[in-house]
Structure 1
Amino acid sequence: MISIYLQGDTWAHRLPAGLKLLTVAVGSLLLFRVTSLLVFLPCLLAVLGAYASLGRDGLRQLKLLRGLTVFLAFILVLHWYSGTTAEGIAVALRLIVLFLAANFVSITTRMDDMLEAVTPLFKPLEWVGMSPKKPALGVALVLRFAPHLMQVFSMLREAWQARTGKKTSWRLIAPFAIQSLRMSDNVAEALKARGGSEGLSR
């Protein structure tokens, strides 16, 4: 199965998966309530420091931000045009911090540990005869592969730029969709080979 997990035994790897997910969730709620750059800049530095603590492999993960450049630029231009540049900067910084934080959890948490941490949230489904592992697996897959899709788009954009000299194009939508569908097929086959959501348990 495709994985962006970085093997290691750092402080981040040793933290419980539930604690990391809870920290990102609470942090997201708090960041959506503030607009001050005095809050976003320290948060950004803290996230960058967390990546730096993982060494070179961690710092390489920052290349994922290339996939967000077009989207962030669009946000900044839109806010500049509407006369709310400061608000646009705050929105861009919020997205960067949240994206990096979510990706940090993905690269330092095993899939099994993430699934184990999410499953208790769906325990009430057992009351109606449904398995909590199936929706938990869906949530875990979204958390795991959203950063990977950004990496795929970034690589496609770099290939397009090297070939045409242009930074991006709407023509990247088709190959990106094809790559995404191929990845989903590979993941589905891997899950089937392991017995589905039940096969991911320890």
Structure 2
Amino acid sequence: MCPTLPGYPPSGIPEDVDKYDLKVDAGDILTIIDHFKAEKVVVGGHDFGGAVLQALALLCPERIAGLIINSPIIQTFYELVNFDHAQQQLSKYRIPYIEYQPGDDKKIESIVRTIRDPRRRQEVYDYLVKSSTHGMMKYHKKDYPGPAYGDRVDTSEMFFTVPTLILWGLGDESFSLKLLDGLPGRLLNTFRLVTLSEMGH
């Protein structure tokens, strides 16, 4: 099954930015797992969805049989976005998302610009035209480091103990390849990194 994160219609759009905390969403996913009486599951996600599932794997590893992500490992992500100038330059397109207020121009063309498949790009474009985006943008406000940067996030206990598959597009315009550094020190169970040369974000 594929649940839609809060803030993304047709899911509800909480007004409180704290409802967009990765740990809160991880708790929601755990509730779904419990609803289906599943003891252990394989989970997969992209971008913020991948970050939510990483939070779930860190908080409840005993419930995760496997983790599949198309997103950076969050420990390295926090370190690079806060302290690496090159990654900050790659991430600067997200600053308007952090600053977004309801009623602002959605800048949909900018949001969909990196979607390479024309049909998928049009689908996302149409979805954003008819949907409120202020909930979506709250993930950037709550979970994505922004200027002035330099925040120290304690990642000393963030080690993954579940089998993990990372899918990474080598043409990703948003993330530095430095985000792949140090994986063996973060992923303590078996893991596989699959790089896709023609793929972007």
Task: Give the TM-score taking structure 2 as reference length.
Answer: 0.25
More strand by share: 2
More helix by share: 1
Task: Give the TM-score taking structure 1 as reference length.
Answer: 0.25
